[in-house]
Structure 1
């Protein structure tokens, strides 16, 4: 099966448009992230190739929406949320219920988003590691 790259990108652009609207409503944005995470966990076996990337995308989206991490350009968070919205859609270029191939376009989009925001993700990982180390240091001083 040959994927129509342009058709996938067109669907993704629509998902990004939805993301920019959803980002204005923190509750909707949070619910979207939770729903996408639930779908990802349910289908983890079919997402092995992008699982670690998805976990990072979920983490940064959650921290952004919660207001914990805002040092990311708006276009990057829109791309991330757009990728998660695309992933959530059961009817996209390759419907998710198609055995074996159902998530191939989703994986393509998620990899595309990951590459697009890689520098922002690297900065986020440094910030996240510092948060974890800070908590560990604070716990050690309480002992």
Structure 2
């Protein structure tokens, strides 16, 4: 029996996600203003998606994108520093990946195009659930 990679493992080991991680590291380390622009693009994209769809997975995606954005903004502002930098870089990478129309499953494909985006958002969200809950309590998001 072979060892097949899971869907999320295939996405995070893909060229697309690796490029998102590289860009996230560069933006996180050297371009705070660029990071704020990235947050704005991600929020606009998820709001547009939420406005055109009423399905619960889009609402979940919207929740996490907004939460990640608020946490990153709080980190930049210096009001919340409880997460390690690598965790914040992963959140930024997810946002970079999310706004890119060409990724593991291109967003232009109806219905399935956001499957990979949702998978990486949930992967990060699940991996830091306790920290996100703590931030929500702290920030009253």
> Mapping of 1:40-51 within 5 angstroms?
40-44=46-50, 45=53, 47-51=58-62
Q: Which has the larger radius of gyration?
A: 1
Alignment correspondent of 2:27: 22
**2:3 paired residue number:** none
RMSD: 2.0
Cα deviation 1:27-54 (Å, max 9, x = unaligned)? 0111111111111111112622322222
Q: TM-score, normalised by structure 2?
A: 0.81
CA distance, structure 1, for counterparts of residue 128 and residue 36 of structure 2: 20
Q: Which runs of 5+ in 2 are unaligned?
A: 1-5
In structure 1, stretches of 5+ residues that fail to align are: 133-143
CA apart distance, 1:8: 1.0
Q: Check 1:49–1:122 CA distance in 2 against 1; reply closer, same or farther (3 A cut).
A: closer
Alignment of 1:1-143 (within 5 A): 4-10=7-13, 11-23=16-28, 24-44=30-50, 45=53, 47-129=58-140
Q: Is the 8 A contact 2:8 2:123 kept in 1?
A: no
TM-score of the aligned structures, taking structure 1 as reference length: 0.80
**Which segment drifts farther, 3-12 or 81-90?**
3-12
